[in-house]
Amino acid sequence: MHIVRLLRLLSGERLIGLGQEPCYGEGMPEKRDYYEVLGIGKAATDSDIKKAFRSLARKFHPDKNPDDPEAEMNFKELQEAYTILSNPEERGKYDMFGHDRPGGSPFGPRGFQGVNINFDDLFGGGFESIFSQFFGDSASSSSRGSDLLVRHSIPFQAVMDGIDDELEIDVLRDCTGCGGSGSNSDDGARPCPSCDGRGRIDEISMIGPFRQRVRKECPSCRGSGRLVTDPCGDCRGEGRAYQAIRVKFSVHPGVGPGTRLRMRGQGEAASSNRGHTGDLYIELEVGTHPWFERDGSDLLMALPLSYADLALGTSIEIPHIDADDLRIKVPSGSKPGETITISGRGLPRPRANSRRGSVTVVLKLEVPRKTSRTMRKRLNEMRDDMEDELDVLEDRIKKEAMSRRRG
């Protein structure tokens, strides 16, 4: 990865994509036993299951294995196993039928699609509420407002220093005119006759010899359990209306592009005024730097120099993102394409306290586009002097090839 980026810098190509899509082979492997995936026995307690998942998820999280094309697949397999075994009802069905349960996959015809879990949630335990939504009854699942995703750009400098930022968005929230009830008055609504005010209905279907009960949101009242007869003029009986809210958040040093910050309770209000507000996810986009390209915590840059600077050596200072000038010492006799690495002057490493990456400088020969008559005369004199000191061209080509092969 590092070599490819350096070659692209030499060619003058700008590095845009920092990631690489995983490539999967044809065919799907046979499902492994969920207990085997988590490395636990069938007598494992709920605490054992949670502990095993948290430990393995930290190990196999795609953010921790950026060069492993199978990391995402392994992480998804862990999620699926935990989703089933952490739910007592689903675990009982799995223990009885295994993967060949009546009715097929509990996740529907598409199977388990995985969950985007922020790495921070594995430390704080925030992943539990995500998985609990898979098999909760409709009273809990339908009474939660929708999650929102917004993309927000931060300056490159924020990756070095961190930043306290804020944004303003329009979100569906409980209507201020009716307090979320949807009605103009206290008696402006009545219980829904379709669900007897419960907000959900049960449907019974037969799958072979088995009866399957599916609990879902009542379509008549959309899970609220009420029918509005005197609708609020502000929200037209919806109980929700768009409101501008300002969200404040902090970005830690070393954050990577594509990182999602989870703001609990900052999403949409539930369609039922008895429900919970969803979450807001802020996906970070990082701005570019005038001359640095980023490779994780390392910084790459190209340094154009004259022939004299490469031949005689030089010392250069340029402004740096940590507020202290970056000093680059170029040894005499340097060649275009060689690199200079300055350790500890890159970006902060996430969760590594004060550790930082390195800065890699690629030396490039800058040839003047226009030369004066005096300069051409001097260059011709230099070329004659240098030819006397160098071996014949064929010998130089051979030595260069041998040096390249040894390297």
Say whether both 282 and 305 belong to one domain: no
- In-domain check, residue 356: yes
- In-domain check, residue 4: no
Say whether both 157 and 274 belong to one domain: yes
Say whether both 180 and 212 belong to one domain: yes
Which of 108, 135, 162 represents a domain boundary (last residue)? 135
- Per-residue pLDDT of the chain (407 residues), as tens digits, is 555 455 455 555 444 333 333 333 344 457 889 999 999 999 999 889 988 988 888 887 777 777 777 777 888 888 888 888 988 888 888 888 888 776 667 776 566 766 656 555 555 444 554 555 455 443 444 467 889 999 999 999 999 999 999 999 999 888 888 877 788 877 778 888 888 877 778 777 666 556 666 777 788 777 777 788 788 888 887 888 899 999 999 999 999 898 999 998 899 888 766 678 889 999 999 999 999 999 989 999 999 999 889 999 999 999 999 999 999 999 999 999 999 999 999 999 877 667 899 999 999 998 888 888 888 888 888 777 777 666 677 777 888 788 878 86
Token digits of residue 135: 């098999």
Contact between residue 303 and residue 313 where contact means Cβ atoms under 8 Å apart:
no
- In-domain check, residue 317: yes
Which of 101, 135, 169 represents a domain boundary (last residue)? 135
- Range(s) of the domain holding residue 406: 371-407
- Name the domain count of the chain: 4
Say whether both 173 and 282 belong to one domain: yes
- In-domain check, residue 48: yes
∠ CA 158-124-171, nearest 5°, is 65
Say whether both 325 and 389 belong to one domain: no
Q: What is the pLDDT of residue 22?
A: 34
Say whether both 235 and 129 belong to one domain: no
- In-domain check, residue 43: yes
- In-domain check, residue 7: no
Say whether both 151 and 243 belong to one domain: yes
Say whether both 153 and 274 belong to one domain: yes
- In-domain check, residue 95: yes
Contact between residue 347 and residue 251 where contact means Cβ atoms under 8 Å apart:
no
Q: What is the pLDDT of residue 135?
A: 53
- In-domain check, residue 269: yes
- pTM (whole model) above 0.75: no
CA 331 vs CA 300, 334, 396: distances in Å: 19, 6, 22
Say whether both 359 and 391 belong to one domain: no
∠ CA 68-131-60, nearest 5°, is 15
Say whether both 294 and 240 belong to one domain: no
Is the alpha carbon torsion for 238, 242, 247, 252 positive or negative? positive
CATH number for the domain that contains residue 353? 2.60.260.20
Say whether both 210 and 277 belong to one domain: yes
Say whether both 108 and 146 belong to one domain: no
Place of tokens 């009982």: 92
CATH number for the domain that contains residue 264? 2.10.230.10
Which of 66, 101, 135 represents a domain boundary (last residue)? 135
Which residues in 212-233 are b (16+ Cβ under 10 Å) and which e?
Answer: eeeeebbeebbbbbbbbeebbe
Contact between residue 161 and residue 253 where contact means Cβ atoms under 8 Å apart:
yes
